[in-house]
Amino acid sequence: MINLAVFASGNGTNFEAIAQACQDGQIPAEVKILICDKPKAYVLERAKKYNILTKVVKLKDYASKEEYETQICAYLAPLNIDLICLAGYMKFCGPTLLNAYPNKIINIHPALLPAFKGAHAILDAYNYGVKVYGVTIHYVSPEIDGGKIISQATIDYHEGDTLDEIETKIHALEHILYVKTINKLIKEGL
Ligand code: GAR
């Protein structure tokens, strides 16, 4: 069995898609822990439903990013984590985490990287007027949203689609692509 950690900061629909797929046996893995940097994030409620261990770690409670990530690593170490899945985790990963889990941290981004990096990718793509939207899963590297791409999927824009409609379609696609990609990595031996 593969041990996963999920890091999230917000709503947690991607976290839930992964947790549900593990529970259903669609992914041969277990989500051992949710790391969350926002005490009020709804993802923490979702984790309760699945009986998943949660740890809230707030950057501002630590003197440095290094100390913050050292604490996260201390939570992960006894769980023998094979893969860390960032799922709307709105912090960049520093060297402490990246060196502890080389090539073992992946992220989902709601755009076709390298286009529309950053925290408002869907809105940025919408304002730009793109005709093809997409989702990217990539390895996390020191460059934000810049690591090696693992998988991508696309959705066509249809005349008159609203931002809300596009967001809904992108999130649905994210859930499918994340589950598929984790499975692919596990099959390939991570
Ligand atoms: C997702 O759309 C994810 O791709 C995005 O945050 C959302 C989290 O949704 N991540 C980024 O923009 C990273 N740059 P969720 O909390 O419902 O999973």
CATH architecture type of domain 2-187: 3-Layer(aba) Sandwich (3.40)
Q: Which H/E stretch holds residue 54?
A: strand 53-56
d(CA 123, CA 144): 18
d(CA 151, CA 34): 23
CB 111 within 8 A of CB 122: yes
Please give the number of the atom of ligand 1 that sits closest to the Cα of 121.
12
What separation in Å is there between the alpha carbon of 109 and the centre of ligand 1?
6
How confident is the model at residue 111, as a pLDDT? Answer: 98
Candidates 9, 13, 116: which one to mutate for ligand 1, based on the most atoms within 8 Å of Cβ? 13
Neighbour count for residue 177 (Cβ, 10 Å)? 21
Using pLDDT thresholds of 50, 70 and 90, give the confidence band for residue 27: very high
**Is 171 among the residues known to form the active site?**
no
Please give the number of the atom of ligand 1 that sits closest to the Cα of 118.
14
How confident is the model at residue 153, as a pLDDT? Answer: 98
